[in-house]
Structure 1
Amino acid sequence: MSLSPDETILFILLGFPINATIFFTWVVIAVLTVASFLITRNLRADVPPNRWRTALEVIVQGIQAQIEEIAEGPSRHLLYFAGTLFLFVAVSNLLLVVPGFEPPTSSLSTTTALALSVLVAVPLFGISSRGLGGYLKTYVEPSFIMLPFNIISEFSRGVSLAIRLYGNIMSGAVIAAILLTVAPFFFPVVMDLLGLLTGMIQAYIFAILATVYISSATAPKHPSTTQEHSP
């Protein structure tokens, strides 16, 4: 049993070995790109929405509602980022129903790349919202002695995101393989359904955690309310 799609070499392209992680990542990107184009090609006010456009609008509005509950202030750019993370992880896991498909999210390299994208997005969103000086100031709050601890905290977030996503997807794949060796005729359907459920949950959790981390870096400073008012 292959524990990671990184170990499976599918073909050689221009002298470079293409493993299952890279290939199926391209597949997910192609599916998202083609589906987005087909659904939004007639996205005009004078064209009545079809069922696919309605489904897409429900997904986008649901993601936006979740972000608005967490973030303070404008969330349009955060919607683009967190929504893309959610759709990539969700589609990667939903395609498990396709025979022969290996989700790229079951590779530590993919989950690490996703976590690094969040790790880079946090300071970028923070600087965009607070300015360079305002964002750097958060590393020495409430005192300068907290600087190394705040830096470690930022990197530990990315590590925890990568390990969390990889561990959950990989554990599901290992359990499925074990059960298939015990009862190969009964468990495939059950495990496919369980895999779809856990895949959607993991996509949701990953996107929400990314939103929480970014929102903590972009949250506006509230003015002090300690001023006493005379009667």
Structure 2
Amino acid sequence: MEMTPDETTLFTVWGIGINETVGYTWVVMILLTVASIVIARNLRPDVPPNRWRTTLEVIVTAIQSQIEEISPRSSRHVLYFSGTLFLFIALSNLLLVVPGFTPPTASLSTTAALALSVLIAVPLFGITGQGIRGYLKTYVQPSVIMLPFNIISEFSRGISLAIRLYGNVMSGAVIAGILLGIAPFFFPVVMDVLGLLTGLIQAYIFAILATVYISSATAVVGKPLHKEKDK
């Protein structure tokens, strides 16, 4: 049993082997892009909503309400980032039910890349919200002595995000392989259901943690949070 999709070549292009991680990552991105274009092409007030538009509005509204509870400031910009993370991870894990599909989130390289995107986004949001000087001041709060600890904390967040997502997806795959070897006719259905549930939960947790980190970076020290209307 393969422990990671990085070890399996999906296809070859011009003599270069494309492993499952890269190949299925592009599959997920293409599906999300095509779905967004198809659903949003008639997204106008004069066009009656269909079931796909209604489903999209429900998903976006639910994600935005969760973000607004955590990060009232500039919630729409956070929605674009955290919402994309959630949809990518959720779809990657949901496609696990497709025979032969290996979720790219089962690779540490994918989860590390997602965590790295959060590490880059946090200071960018922080600088945008507070300015360079205001954001850098958060590293010396409550005193200069905390500077190295705050820096280590930033990097540990990314590491914990990557390992948490990778560990949960991989542990589910390993357990499924063991159970399938014991009773292959009963456990597939049960493991598929549990895999879908776990996948959605992990996508939710990852997106929420990213939102929490961004909210912490954009919060102005000494000022209470208040909701601001997006312009």
Q: TM-score, normalised by structure 1?
A: 0.95
For residues 182 and 70 of structure 1, the distance between their equivalents in structure 2, rounded to whole angstroms, comes to 44
Q: What are the equivalent positions in structure 2 for 1:16-27 lying under 5 Å apart?
A: 16-27=16-27
Q: What are the equivalent positions in structure 2 for 1:169-184 lying under 5 Å apart?
A: 169-184=169-184
For residues 162 and 16 of structure 1, the distance between their equivalents in structure 2, rounded to whole angstroms, comes to 27
For residues 56 and 172 of structure 1, the distance between their equivalents in structure 2, rounded to whole angstroms, comes to 29
For residues 54 and 2 of structure 2, the distance between their equivalents in structure 1, rounded to whole angstroms, comes to 39
1:112 corresponds in structure 2 to 112
Shift in alpha-carbon separation, 1:223–1:181, aligned structure 2, 3 A: closer
Secondary structure, aligned partner of 1:131: helix
1:147 corresponds in structure 2 to 147
Q: 1:223 Cα deviation (Å)?
A: 4.5
**Unaligned ranges ≥5, structure 1:** 225-231
1:195 corresponds in structure 2 to 195
For residues 218 and 195 of structure 1, the distance between their equivalents in structure 2, rounded to whole angstroms, comes to 34
Q: 1:40–1:53: 8 Å Cα contact kept in structure 2?
A: yes
Deviations along 1:99-149, one digit per CA (max 9) or x if unpaired, are 100000000000000000000000000000000000011111111111100
Amino acid in structure 2 at the alignment position of 1:136: L
Q: Aligned pair 1:131/2:126, yes or no?
A: no
**Unaligned ranges ≥5, structure 2:** 225-231
Q: What are the equivalent positions in structure 2 for 1:1-231 lying under 5 Å apart?
A: 1-223=1-223
Q: 1:219 Cα deviation (Å)?
A: 1.0
For residues 210 and 151 of structure 2, the distance between their equivalents in structure 1, rounded to whole angstroms, comes to 17
For residues 148 and 181 of structure 2, the distance between their equivalents in structure 1, rounded to whole angstroms, comes to 49
The count of residues paired between Structure 1 and Structure 2 equals 224
Q: 1:17 Cα deviation (Å)?
A: 1.5
Amino acid in structure 2 at the alignment position of 1:49: P
Report which of the two structures shows the higher radius of gyration computed on alpha carbons: 1
Secondary structure, aligned partner of 1:29: helix
Identical counterparts, % of pairs: 75
Amino acid in structure 2 at the alignment position of 1:208: I
For residues 135 and 72 of structure 1, the distance between their equivalents in structure 2, rounded to whole angstroms, comes to 18
For residues 140 and 122 of structure 1, the distance between their equivalents in structure 2, rounded to whole angstroms, comes to 17
Deviations along 1:175-228, one digit per CA (max 9) or x if unpaired, are 00100000101111110011000000000000000000010000123349xxxx
For residues 214 and 223 of structure 2, the distance between their equivalents in structure 1, rounded to whole angstroms, comes to 21
For residues 223 and 209 of structure 1, the distance between their equivalents in structure 2, rounded to whole angstroms, comes to 22
Q: TM-score, normalised by structure 2?
A: 0.95
For residues 200 and 103 of structure 1, the distance between their equivalents in structure 2, rounded to whole angstroms, comes to 13
Amino acid in structure 2 at the alignment position of 1:155: F
For residues 219 and 172 of structure 1, the distance between their equivalents in structure 2, rounded to whole angstroms, comes to 36
Amino acid in structure 1 at the alignment position of 2:118: V
For residues 221 and 144 of structure 1, the distance between their equivalents in structure 2, rounded to whole angstroms, comes to 15
Q: 1:72–1:220: 8 Å Cα contact kept in structure 2?
A: no
Q: 1:74 Cα deviation (Å)?
A: 2.1
